[in-house]
């Protein structure tokens, strides 16, 4: 047949005894998996896990770079929703800078406000961003830098009656919310708010839109409460009062009803908004007020910035942090962001720098060969498998801390222990049942107001 002929001809033409280099060097040897031939699997894997853990600690160099250029403390930051390499930051002197992370350079500087830039957020499409400042204004800016000869001017400026302390943009619509004396929800096209939500009179420090159920808002005020709002009905929903003031909160981007609040009492509280009576989890490790919190885009972890000059990474379901980052020169960290590709963490601190960290301290950056990747995965699994073994745990959990934090931790441990002992003694010497046991999670909640 002609077809066969053709085929054979084709083969004859194209047959080149091609042999790849890898095949020559790596001859596939059939392997015998008989367990008798490979004894001591547990001790061998244990040793591998130990080595992997040690290597992880050896390679744990999370600090990547520092972006300097601000002339005052960095007060707020915003991620670009579409571009991973762009980050915006606002300083205490009213200056806003736009950074290119790949170049690690500032690409644009705007004198946006007089006094602090209190808050900033990017529009969901990434074409513009909003800033609020101490000068009682809300300004909308273009993301692109102006043409040559063009003035650096905002697209819109809204003059308010009171100082705005925070701003957040809706995730899908042309709506943004500001907070100050009240929570205002604005249409982008109008100069007066669509609606103002109040519940009590106190300055509200931060407001955040829920990224999943986008009509939901959460805010925290300086009278120690966290208030939830529904934009559809323009009504507040519920208020929970904690022992101390909450500085800011952040919604979990993968779990619609979960948010985490960064509190002045050194703790973070993860709440399920349906059950505000007690938080889902109390995350404690910081030794000073927690100033900012941001979720990783996978929703499995979050990063918190604290007044104790460190940032910590917490798993959502764990009460303690898995990682702490600090440098000698980093002062009080005011703002922190987790980049949208889940790889990096940015933190802005008092001493005018923005620092770029790896989210996974020992991760190798860049392209990995498949074998390398397989080895990494295997090591990761081994570390997980043997994580409970004391020697491995000791190595895996070892972190260096600056002396101040270390001492404070020790001090606080002593204090906590003393408090616990006192309570225990009280309970022991009082009528049985008269001093009920209050769980750690309920301790910090003062009241829930309907």
Partner 1 sequence: MRSFGRPPVPCGLRWPGTPGHGRCRSGLSLWPSSVPGIALCRAPAWAGPGSVTVSAVCQGQEDGERRHQQLLEAVSSLSGRRRRKLAERTEASTQVSEFNVSCKGAGEKLVLSELLQPIRPKSALSTVKKELTKVKQKKAVELPLSKEEAERVVREAAYVRTSKDVGRWQQVVLQNRRAEQLVFPLKQEIATVVPLEQVVSAWKARTPLEQEIFGLLHKTKQPITDPLLTPEETASLQAMSLEEARQRRAELQKARVVQSYYEAKARREKKIKSKKYHRVLKKSKRRKALKEFELLHKSDPEAALAKLEELEQLRMQERMSLKHQNKGKWARSRAIMAKYDLEARKAMQEQLARNKELTQKVRVELPEEEPSDVPEEDLTSETVPTIPVGASGANPWMLGKPSGPAEELKVQEGLENVAVPDAVESKEEMEKDDDEEDMSEEEALLQDFMQKRQVRQQQARSLEEQGADETEAVPELPGDGPIHPISAEDQASVGIEQPPQAQEEILLSEQLGRVQTMDDVDALASEERVEEQEKLVVATAEKPVPARAEKRVQQQEEGRAGDKRAKKPAKKKIISLEAVLAGKPQQVQCPSLPVVVEEEEGGIDQRGVITEAFAGDDVVADFTREKRKAEEAAKPQPVNLVLPGWGEWGGTGLKPSARKIKRFLLKPPPAPPRKDQHLPHVIMSERRNIHAAAHQVSELPFPFERHQQFEQSIRTPVGATWNTQRAFQKLTTPRIITRSGHIIKPLSAEDVPDMATTAGTGAKPALEIVPQRPEPPLCRRRRRAR
Question: Which residues of this chain interact with partner 1, rule CB under 8 A?
Answer: 1-3, 6, 33, 35, 38, 41-42, 44-46, 48, 81-82, 84, 171, 211-213, 216, 228, 230, 233, 235-238, 253-258, 272-275, 280-282, 297-300, 317, 319, 340-343, 374, 377-378, 380-382, 385-386, 388-391, 439-441, 450
- In the complex with partner 1, the residue whose CB is nearer, 56 or 135, is 56
- In the complex with partner 1, the residue whose CB is nearer, 95 or 301, is 301
> Is there a contact between 211 and 251 (Cβ–Cβ < 8 Å)?
yes
CB of 236: closest distance to partner 1 in angstroms? 6
> Is there a contact between 130 and 78 (Cβ–Cβ < 8 Å)?
no
Structural tokens at position 353? 């720098």
Return d(Cα 450, Cα 318) in angstroms, integer: 29
> Is there a contact between 294 and 336 (Cβ–Cβ < 8 Å)?
yes
CB of 373: closest distance to partner 1 in angstroms? 9
CB of 38: closest distance to partner 1 in angstroms? 5
CB of 275: closest distance to partner 1 in angstroms? 6
Residues 6+ apart with CB under 8 A from 292: 247, 248, 262, 304, 305, 333, 334, 335, 336
CB of 15: closest distance to partner 1 in angstroms? 18
Q: Name the pairing type of β-strands 323-325 and 235-242.
A: unpaired
CB of 57: closest distance to partner 1 in angstroms? 18
> Is there a contact between 167 and 131 (Cβ–Cβ < 8 Å)?
yes
Return d(Cα 301, Cα 411) in angstroms, integer: 27
- In the complex with partner 1, the residue whose CB is nearer, 189 or 439, is 439
- In the complex with partner 1, the residue whose CB is nearer, 52 or 405, is 52
Residue recorded with tokens 């009509």: 215
C-alpha torsion 305→308→312→316, nearest 10: -70
CB of 268: closest distance to partner 1 in angstroms? 14
Residues 6+ apart with CB under 8 A from 28: none
Residue recorded with tokens 């692109």: 144
- In the complex with partner 1, the residue whose CB is nearer, 133 or 253, is 253
- In the complex with partner 1, the residue whose CB is nearer, 188 or 255, is 255
Return d(Cα 313, Cα 295) in angstroms, integer: 10
- In the complex with partner 1, the residue whose CB is nearer, 117 or 261, is 261
CB of 301: closest distance to partner 1 in angstroms? 10
Is the torsion defined by CA of 162, 81, 210, 232 positive or negative? positive
- In the complex with partner 1, the residue whose CB is nearer, 113 or 383, is 383
Question: How does DSSP classify residue 385?
Answer: H
Question: How does DSSP classify residue 275?
Answer: B
Inter-CA distances, 310 with 100, 168, 303, 409, Å: 24, 25, 11, 13
Return d(Cα 325, Cα 314) in angstroms, integer: 12
- In the complex with partner 1, the residue whose CB is nearer, 245 or 389, is 389
- In the complex with partner 1, the residue whose CB is nearer, 44 or 421, is 44
CB of 182: closest distance to partner 1 in angstroms? 14
CB of 21: closest distance to partner 1 in angstroms? 21
Return d(Cα 121, Cα 186) in angstroms, integer: 14
């Amino acid at each position: 047949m002609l077809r066969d002929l053709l085929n054979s001809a084709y083969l004859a033409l194209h047959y080149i005894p091609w042999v790849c280099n890898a095949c020559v060097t790596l001859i596939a040897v059939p392997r015998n998996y008989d367990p008798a031939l490979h004894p001591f699997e547990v001790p061998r894997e244990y040793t591998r896990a130990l080595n992997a853990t040690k290597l992880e600690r050896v390679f744990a160099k999370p600090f990547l770079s520092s972006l300097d250029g601000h002339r005052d403390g960095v007060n707020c930051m915003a991620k670009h929703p579409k571009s991973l390499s762009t980050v915006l930051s606002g300083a205490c002197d009213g200056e806003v800078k736009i950074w290119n992370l790949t170049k690690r350079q500032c690409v644009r500087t705007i004198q946006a406000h007089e006094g602090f830039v209190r808050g900033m957020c990017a529009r969901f499409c990434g074409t513009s961003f909003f800033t609020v400042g101490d000068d009682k204004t809300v300004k909308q800016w273009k993301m692109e830098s102006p043409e040559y000869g063009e003035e650096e001017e905002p697209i819109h400026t809204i003059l308010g009656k009171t100082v705005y302390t925070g701003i957040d943009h809706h995730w899908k619509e042309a709506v943004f919310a500001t907070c100050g004396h009240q929570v205002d929800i604005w249409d982008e096209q109008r100069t007066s708010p669509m609606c103002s939500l109040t519940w009590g009179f106190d300055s509200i420090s931060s407001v955040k839109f829920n990224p999943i159920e986008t009509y939901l808002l959460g805010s925290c005020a300086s009278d120690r409460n966290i208030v939830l709002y529904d934009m559809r009905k323009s009504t507040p929903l519920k208020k929970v009062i904690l022992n101390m003031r909450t500085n800011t909160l952040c919604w979990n981007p993968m779990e619609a009803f979960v948010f985490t609040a960064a509190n002045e009492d050194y703790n973070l509280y993860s709440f399920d908004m349906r059950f505000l009576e007690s938080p889902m989890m109390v995350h404690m490790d910081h030794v000073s007020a927690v100033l900012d919190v941001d979720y990783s885009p996978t929703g499995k972890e979050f990063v918190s910035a604290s007044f104790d000059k460190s940032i910590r990474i917490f798993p959502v379901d764990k009460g303690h942090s898995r990682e702490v980052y600090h440098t000698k020169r980093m002062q009080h960290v005011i703002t922190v962001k987790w980049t949208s590709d889940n790889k990096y963490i940015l933190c802005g601190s008092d001493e005018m720098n923005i620092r770029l960290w790896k989210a996974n301290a020992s991760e190798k950056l860049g392209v990995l060969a498949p074998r390398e990747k397989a080895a990494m995965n295997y090591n990761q699994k081994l570390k997980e498998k043997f994580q409970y073994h004391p020697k491995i745990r000791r190595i895996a959990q070892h972190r260096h801390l600056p002396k101040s934090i270390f001492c404070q931790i020790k001090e606080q441990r002593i204090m906590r222990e003393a408090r616990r002992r006192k309570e225990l003694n009280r309970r022991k010497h009082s009528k049985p049942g008269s001093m009920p046991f209050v769980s750690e999670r309920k301790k910090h909640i003062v009241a829930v107001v309907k």
